[in-house]
Amino acid sequence: MKHITLILASVAVLSVAGCRNAQKPIELGPNPFVTHIYTADPSAHVWEDGRLYVYPSHDVAPPRGCDLMDGYHVFSTDDMVNWTDHGEILHSSQVPWGRKDGGFMWAPDCAYKDGTYYFYFPHPSGDDWNNTWKVGIATSKEPAANFTVQGYLDLGEDTFAMIDPCVFVDDDGQAYFYYGGGGRCVAAKLKDNMIELAEPLRPMEGLRDFHEATWVHKRDGLYYISYADNHIMPDGSQQNRLNYAVSTSPYGPWEYKGIYLGPTGCDTSHGSIVEYKGEWFAFYHNKDLSGMGNLRSICVDKLYYNEDGTIKMVEQTR
């Protein structure tokens, strides 16, 4: 009898220990999760301090297209519910080579290497804004403060729609730079200094109906590229969706897989996919806060994969 009691007691201890190790699923708060300013184009990363940081662009009211977007705030969390606004990390007036009227601080991204955070932001250098884009680089020793503009990437002469930089750092530490706008998506390795290309840009093959908003992530050894398409609604309005394709290489060629985020109400769509505390999340923007497509707000929902690695449609929660 004593023996049986002992066995039962050990089973009980094991199952309590098992429970302790299993992580409780994260419960998300309401969307949009930033409501005191307008935000768009969220690039999410988890850095070494264990927090999740979001680098969005900042829509300005009253909107004039996307012309007046003038600077970047950074947000972070450690529970996906309570978010800290770290304030403005960069303003167009701090960009020495930027266009004199400012604005046009469009979708950014951030990368980390060897103790430095590299913030990549698209900004035009002239009045002919869509033909004078540059991808600026600001650096800091901190993820959300004290960024200083270092210059811009030399991406060649063809600067039309040179927007939406995305930097993916692979498991071996090699960084890949992507940009995509106006239907073109290209990529190249970055040098170790993270501010120069290591090779010529090459086109990303296999993407279907690519518009802009490139994001690259990796899961179980497979590379995923996601991007906005040119989707038109039955009523004739533009409402882009987020599509994705996969490859065994960060350069592609890419195998198109479909749409993972439907229309959000905005004409543009732009998002990122990131793993945090054992779960996957899709960041995107909608217009719920303002009712206006150019006054956008960042949102997050859970992202689930099928057994075969394909992505399930994201449920957009409110």
Of these residues, 164, 212, 267, 288, which one is catalytic?
212
Give the whole-angstrom CA distance, residue 299 versus residue 296.
10
**Degrees (nearest 5) of the Cα angle 277, 49, 220?**
40
For the CB of residue 192, give the shortest distance to ligand FUB in the complex, in Å: 27
Smallest CA-to-CA distance from 150 within 198, 79, 216, 96 is with 96
Find the farthest-apart pair of alpha carbons in the chain and give their distance in angstroms, rounded: 87
For the CB of residue 266, give the shortest distance to ligand FUB in the complex, in Å: 8
Give the whole-angstrom CA distance, residue 175 versus residue 113.
9
Site for ligand FUB in 99-158 (CB under 6 A): 106-107
Of these residues, 41, 70, 109, 288, which one is catalytic?
41
Return the number of the residue (212 or 229) whose C-beta is nearest ligand FUB.
Answer: 212
**Degrees (nearest 5) of the Cα angle 67, 69, 74?**
160
Handedness of CA 251, 313, 28, 70 (dihedral sign): positive
Site for ligand FUB in 53-72 (CB under 6 A): 57, 66
Q: How many residues bind ligand FUB (CB under 6 A)?
A: 12
40, 161, 190, 245: residue in contact with ligand FUB (rule CB under 6 A): 40
DSSP conformation class of 287: -
212 is annotated as an active-site residue? yes
Site for ligand FUB in 245-304 (CB under 6 A): 268, 270
Helix (H, G, I), strand (E, B) or coil at 136: strand
For the CB of residue 273, give the shortest distance to ligand FUB in the complex, in Å: 15
52, 60, 155, 163: residue in contact with ligand FUB (rule CB under 6 A): 163
196 is annotated as an active-site residue? no
Return the number of the residue (26 or 292) whose C-beta is nearest ligand FUB.
Answer: 292
Residue positions annotated with a catalytic role: 41, 212
